[in-house]
Amino acid sequence: MIENKEIRYTQEKNTKFEIDTAPNGIPLNYKVLNEKIHQAIQKGYEKVLLNEVCGQRFIGASLQGQIKLEIMGLPGNDLGIFMDGPEIIVHGNCEDQIGNTMNNGKIIVHGDARDVVGLSARGGKIYVKKNVGYRVGIHIKEYENKFPILLIGGTTKDFLGEYMAGGLIIVLGLEIKDDGTVIENDYPICGGELGTGIHRGKIILRTEENLENRLGIGAKVYELKKETEKTITPYIKEFCQIFKIPYDVMNEKPFKVVKPISKRPYGGNYCGNLI
């Protein structure tokens, strides 16, 4: 049944709601698009497929519940902002700030993501198959029983884990090609100022590179302990399952851990005479 040019229903009720986000080649305004997504959810649909996405911002903003968004195209900034529960799958690349202030749920990106991935996230999982940009994981934090996970298959740029206040960032340093081939990435696994201002949480990097000269203020490199290895293994296995990567490749390089030296790395800079 076809209701209009933008929306197509599957025959089986309450399964999938399909939206053409650029009817006649003209992208819908992001507010209009999000309204259509909410209309689908109100009708009882639990899966929404977005076709021809072309840079619309704020897709999935503040969505709650067991909803699944599947995106064909390139979503714009702040994908899944304030999201609390749904799953978003992107068949392609993303722009900046996916998972901004995310509370729960999962975002899976079958490509690259740009800067500030997971800004201030306090829960949920973000899995990026390929590479990411600058300031990824800035100020992610644990909140009550929430524990954010950022897992990057490729490499990152400067200021990874800046002001990190909890959670877990894992970077694998792989190059995962579209045909399924997996090789080691030729680029450095991360840029400079690694973990600047970190005061809780862990950054795990699969690398043989010397990270000491890339550390930011308050960060230090540690060896991977069995307890931490046990914690990260289920997430890495889930990542490998999603992107069809053989788990055995993880054993070809060691994992290094970046953690805070102190819970208050800048404590001496602010009102030191009062503390």
Whether 1 is in a domain gets the answer no
**Domain count across the chain:** 1
Alpha-helix runs per DSSP H in 114-180: none
Shortest CA distance to 85 belongs to which of 100, 107, 56, 70?
A: 107
Residues in contact with 37: Cβ distance below 8 Å, sequence separation at least 6, in sequence order: 19, 48, 50, 59, 60, 63, 69
Whether 58 is in a domain gets the answer yes
Whether 71 is in a domain gets the answer yes
Whether 220 is in a domain gets the answer yes
Whether 130 is in a domain gets the answer yes
CATH of the domain at 138: 2.160.20.60
pLDDT at residue 84 tops 50? yes
Q: What is the pLDDT of residues 134-185, one digit of tens each?
A: 999 999 999 888 999 999 999 999 999 999 999 999 999 999 998 889 999 9
Q: What is the pLDDT of residues 40-68, one digit of tens each?
A: 999 999 999 999 999 999 999 999 999 99
Q: Are 96 and 55 in contact (CB under 8 A)?
A: no
Alpha-helix runs per DSSP H in 102-247: 226-243
Helix count and strand count (H, E) for the chain: 2, 14
C-alpha to C-alpha distance for 106 and 102, rounded to whole angstroms = 9
Domain of residue 195, residue span: 7-274
Whether 22 is in a domain gets the answer yes
- C-alpha distance from residue 74 to each of 32, 60, 199, 234 (Å): 17, 14, 34, 29
Whether 174 is in a domain gets the answer yes
Whether 2 is in a domain gets the answer no
